[in-house]
Chain A
Amino acid sequence: MANEKTFPVRIVRGPYVFRGRSIPVGTVVQVTEAQFRAMTRVSPPYAERVEAGSPATPVAEAGEPVAAPKERPASKK
């Protein structure tokens, strides 16, 4: 379990409960394949894959969600 391969995903619907915490939309978290399946078993899915190399650190190790939620684009006036 500890050595299971993980990859970064972005929460796109939420909040999503991850390891007992409520993770807001836009947050990038490291997940395993099984966790990703649980997030995408419903449609619309809770998370989408982000490119490898994106700034992301495991939630479990960092203790805090990783990348801050992306700022919403300014609305057109």
Chain B
Amino acid sequence: MPYSKQFSAHGIIEVGHYTGTKGGPYTETSWGLTTQDGARLTGTVNTVKQRSGQGTGAIDSFISEADVQLVVGLASATLDNLRRLLGLPTSALEGDLEDQVEPTEEILTVRGDQLGTEVLSIYVRTMGPIGPRTYRFPRAKVASLPELNMNRTAYTEPTATFDVYEVNGELYWVEDAIA
């Protein structure tokens, strides 16, 4: 077997959203090319420490709050992707440039009261030990709005941070496919 305990992970294959429950089958929609930075998963915790009056070091601690955030950078700056990274509902985008029969002008309307309201199930696919590795975040919402560069020396690469929420106590799961 080519599988080795020495697997070193790097790279990114795909980011998108999906429908389906854990174990599959899943229906996936790719968001297209990502930036070189791709996706980044970060976590922050708050801990409560117990100390005694008889010593200076902590005698115990527990995690009282744990937050997971996912940062996604996209090289495909389509209006549909902008909409997703702004957390806008699908109704915010009218028209369809991709329509094979009759393409129509796309209009993305950014309303303040709709920003960050869309809830997405996001997947991130990377290289795995033998098959692809897929991270699935069943419930995520935009936590910060993308910075959009419109200038001569940089590409417009929308990047947004998503807050990841628990579903039945699960924040996310990771699948390593057989191959």
Expressed in whole angstroms, the Cα–Cα distance for A19 and B129 within the complex equals 7
Expressed in whole angstroms, the Cα–Cα distance for A42 and B24 within the complex equals 7
Q: Which of B123-142 contact A (CB under 8 A)?
A: 127-133
Kindly report which residue of chain A lies nearest to residue B18, judged by CB atoms: A42
- Cβ A44 vs Cβ B28 within 8 A: yes
Judge whether A67 is part of the interface by a CB distance below 8 angstroms. Answer: no
- Cβ A42 vs Cβ B27 within 8 A: yes
- Cβ B130 vs Cβ A43 within 8 A: no
- Cβ A43 vs Cβ B28 within 8 A: yes
Kindly report which residue of chain B lies nearest to residue A2, judged by CB atoms: B1
Expressed in whole angstroms, the Cα–Cα distance for A17 and B130 within the complex equals 7
Q: Which of B107-159 contact A (CB under 8 A)?
A: 127-133
* Contact A16 to B132, CB < 8 A, known contacts A22-B127, A35-B178, A38-B178: yes
* Contact A35 to B179, CB < 8 A, known contacts A17-B128, A19-B2, A20-B129: yes
Residues of A within 8 A of B26 (CB): 41-43
* Contact A19 to B28, CB < 8 A, known contacts A34-B178, A35-B179: no
25 CB contacts below 8 A, A to B, read: A1-B1, A16-B132, A17-B128, A17-B133, A18-B131, A19-B2, A20-B7, A20-B127, A20-B129, A20-B179, A22-B13, A22-B127, A34-B178, A38-B131, A38-B177, A38-B179, A41-B24, A41-B26, A42-B18, A42-B26, A42-B27, A42-B28, A43-B27, A43-B28, A60-B2
Having A16-B132, A39-B177, one finds 19 other A-B pairs with CB under 8 Å, namely A1-B1, A15-B13, A17-B13, A17-B130, A17-B131, A17-B133, A18-B130, A18-B131, A18-B179, A20-B179, A31-B179, A34-B178, A35-B131, A38-B131, A38-B177, A41-B25, A42-B24, A42-B26, A43-B27
